[in-house]
Amino acid sequence: MSQSNFPNWHATTILCIRKGPDVVVAGDGQVSMGDTVVKSNAMKVRRLHNDTVISGFAGATADAFTLFERLEAKLERHPGQLTRACVELAKDWRTDRYLRKLEAMMAVADDEVSLIVSGTGDVLEPEDSLIGIGSGGNYALSAARAMMDRKDMSAEDVARRAIEIAADICVYTNKNIIVEKLKSK
């Protein structure tokens, strides 16, 4: 049976926000298969490398876990060098026959940099320190941009509210939000 016979899995809104000294990665909990919600409390945000890196994924879950493991290995090989670890992961992802078939995207951050990592070999650092990926990513990103100047909102507040707004628009996003925050230095 070919993969085209399986229903499409839609599963995520991930948002990474860097505001002042704070860095957060937030994700919703919904996993959908076609037009059916399969799970509402999936954990799509993880801490890596002794809690110094946070990452969220959009895409197939098994693929994302493979990528988390590979990124963790790259971070062990290149400690304190998130960009280099991500570039090495992207090179493997692009050239390895097995990894090339993985369907996922990652938002990754440490205390210095926020990056988007994709299977096309991209490692991108956004100009405005905001990342939105997944089916509701652009909605959450737009909402976050509109709230970033508010002094009464922390990075976590902006992330939660932005994903709530995305959930009101995107049927593949819910309001069961998980937020991981890096400790400020």
pLDDT tens-digit profile of 108-128?
999 999 999 987 778 999 999
- Give CA angle at 158 (64, 52), nearest 5°: 45
List 12, 66, 83, 120, catalytic entry:
12
Domains and CATH numbers, the chain: 3-173 (3.60.20.10)
Mean pLDDT of 20-47: 91
Radius of gyration of the chain (CA): 16
Can you tell me whether residue 166 is helix, strand or coil?
Answer: helix
In one letter, which amino acid is 182? L
pLDDT tens-digit profile of 122-161?
899 999 989 999 999 999 999 999 999 999 999 999 999 9
Active site residue 66: no
What is the pTM for the complete model shown? 0.89
